[in-house]
Each structure stands twice: as C-alpha cells, then as structure tokens.
Structure 1
C-alpha cells in the first residue's frame, strides 16, 4: 500500500503559478491537488485527456468551453478532453480541488 498526504507532496512550478501537487501519476490516471487562494485562477488551457474535478473545500468558478458555473465543496465536475477549461477563485476563502486525469498523460505534455 502506498499513502500520500497532500502536505507531504511538494508543489511544482506550473504555468498557472498556483499550488499544484501531484499525488499520483500512472499510465491509467494522474491525480493532482490544487489550492487556489482568493483571487487566484488557472489559465484557460486544454488537456488531451478527460478530466474530473472534485471540489474538496471552498467554492470556485469553473469554465469548460462556453459554460461557466459556481461549484462548491463536495461537487464533481466532468471536463471532456480537448475542451478549454479553467478554475477561478472569486471568493474570500481557500478553494481546494482534486483533479483526476484519465487515462494518465505519461507521454503527453503536462499543463499542471
């Protein structure tokens, strides 16, 4: 068994300039924990694989293609491959999001 605590995973530099920590990276899936401070956002980007977002804490605005919605804790959002998407924290509190990419992107260019 392998266990990983978010606080023990190091945040890696990324094009978005946010706290993004890789928790698992296999050929079948990639799991990333993102923390958005108030006012922070991801740049709109495209991933070559399907993405599932699960909001762990707080609230954020998720944009997928032309759709835009506020999503709070305990909400799951599906984002299809090759559709521009991003998250924005317009609140006054921290927003934490679990990102699951399937299949993994071992050979693809990573954006996070």
Structure 2
C-alpha cells in the first residue's frame, strides 16, 4: 500500500471521527458551557486545540520547506491534521470534564 493510499484511508476514517467529535463538543457545550465550571473547561479545551493546530501547521510548513509535496498529498495532510486535532481535542475535553 502506497503512502498516498494510506493517507487517503486515514483521512476518511478520521473525518468520521471528526464529525463524532464535533457532535460531542456541541453536546457538552450545550449541557455545561453556561456555568463557571463549563467556561473553565472550554477555555482550557480551546487553548489546547489552538496549540495543537498551531503545532500541526508549523510541522507542515517545516516539511513543505524540506520536501516537495504534490498538491493532493499536501491537501490530505492538512485534512488529516485538522481531523486529528479535533479527535485529540475531544479526548482532552473528556479528561478535563473528569478532572474539574
């Protein structure tokens, strides 16, 4: 299996997980986002998401400067990094909910 096919498969699977993550985030925000505890949790959650997405973009810029990617592969890597950011961020949200 080539790298492009593997990346395409990972993007498809992570897209489904991203949709699930968005539903979970919306549910928890609607349920707990209005009080002080919810605001604290979501502030920490969005700060983590911003940091993680910034790291993914910086990593991609670094790799793009080193290697010459075709457009399709570059697009797939961006999609995958966005999807994985949402999935990892949702796990972080669940951990924050248990902690606070």
* TM-score bin, normalised by smaller chain: under 0.3
Return the TM-score normalized by structure 1. Answer: 0.22
Structure that is richer in strand per residue? 1
Structure that is richer in helix per residue? 2
Higher RCO, Cα 8 Å, sep 6+: 2
Return the TM-score normalized by structure 2. Answer: 0.23
